[in-house]
Amino acid sequence: MTNRQGIILTLLGTLLALAAIAHLFTGDTEHGLHWAESQAFLSLRLNRLAIAATVGGSLALAGVLLQALLRNPLASPDLLGVTSGAGLGVAAATYAASLTTGYAVASPAMQTLAALLGAGLTLGLILAWTHRRGGIDVISLVLVGVIVGMTCSGVTLLLHHLLPDRGVNARAWFFGSINEDLPTALLVIAAVALGLCLAVSLASARAIDAACLGEDESRSVGVRLGRLRLILFAASGLLATSAVVLAGPIGFVGLIIPHAVRMVIGPHHRPLLIGTTLAGAATLITADAAVSAFPLDRGGRLPLGVVMAIVGGPLFLLLLRSTLRRASL
């Protein structure tokens, strides 16, 4: 790791710390920016902060791993179909609740379990279709992921249409939002998964660098591509699944953050993995602090998924334009 990379990682860590401090002064949509008045409110803010950091770091790290797997800097976790599978699980749970109780209301625990089951089944189906004797077929992974994701989205829309009140209770989750009532055990599991995936990725950083050069070059230095691709797929799938379960579908984090960090820190994956995780956590913490500090006129918060879609699209176009300009020089 060079001195420049070390400085950039230090700056990203500092930005994460500043974002976390700013986040602790938000959370009450009625009184603006201020420190929590009681231990209960502080606990809620700390819980929301931990969720935002875990989701942001997970999505960003999943984006880096998937881009390395596909050797495409424009790849994102949405290609895996995990978001659509989790959404189908929540829609199925809400529809089942409407059949049994007469109301389209599913408890947070039921939504969480359904999202986890839907995402897990989606990943298992994609892995079964794309796994070959030598490992994962990259082209099949993209095609199957897109098709499975579109199919799950179609069934989700069907179930949503059949609901008696269009699933008001699940609407916030579908837009991507943080729920303070999330079980603590689920947050701990997601945070541990993030730490383990980061550790495994750092241990495989040199192999990932070699694999990005091409199949012949990586095999010539002894990289087992089949095993590496399976690790990258499993890790990115696990990270995307945990993020979707915690906060629903939130786009652009796994696409923009790896691309932006790569531009300033370079293509080597050891510093890139760390920097992207820090930047992803800082980005989602900042976004959640912003929606908490600026409430809607009718009360409540703007969903994070909507914020990231509005801000992320134009930002990514600017980054892409800058990259194309550099390539033309």
Give per-residue pLDDT as tens, 152-172.
889 988 887 787 655 455 566
Q: Among candidates 239, 286, 289, which has minimal Cα distance to 82? A: 239
Percent of the chain exceeding pLDDT 90 equals 23
Residue 103's pLDDT band, with cuts at 50, 70 and 90, is low
Please tell me the pTM assigned to this model: 0.86
Helical (H) or strand (E) element with 324:
helix 304-328
- Tens digits of per-residue pLDDT, 29-80? 455 566 767 777 778 888 889 999 999 999 999 999 988 888 777 778 877 7
Determine how many CB atoms are found less than 10 A away from the CB of residue 20.
Answer: 19
The pLDDT assigned to 15 comes to 95
Amino acid identity at 179: N
Architecture of the CATH domain 3-294+301-328: Orthogonal Bundle (1.10)
Residue 141's pLDDT band, with cuts at 50, 70 and 90, is confident
Residue 300's pLDDT band, with cuts at 50, 70 and 90, is low
The pLDDT assigned to 328 comes to 59
Q: Are 201 and 235 in contact (CB under 8 A)?
A: yes
Q: Is 213 helix (H, G, I), strand (E, B) or coil?
A: coil
CA angle 40, 42, 43 (to 5 degrees): 65
Residue 14's pLDDT band, with cuts at 50, 70 and 90, is very high
For 105, how many CA atoms within 13 A lie in the half-sphere containing its CB?
3
Q: Is 23 helix (H, G, I), strand (E, B) or coil?
A: helix
The pLDDT assigned to 19 comes to 93
Domain limits, the chain: 3-294+301-328
Q: Are 289 and 19 in contact (CB under 8 A)?
A: yes
The pLDDT assigned to 234 comes to 86
- The mean of the pLDDT values for the chain is 82
**Higher pLDDT among residues 293 and 87, named by residue:** 87
Residue 197 token pair: 């995936």
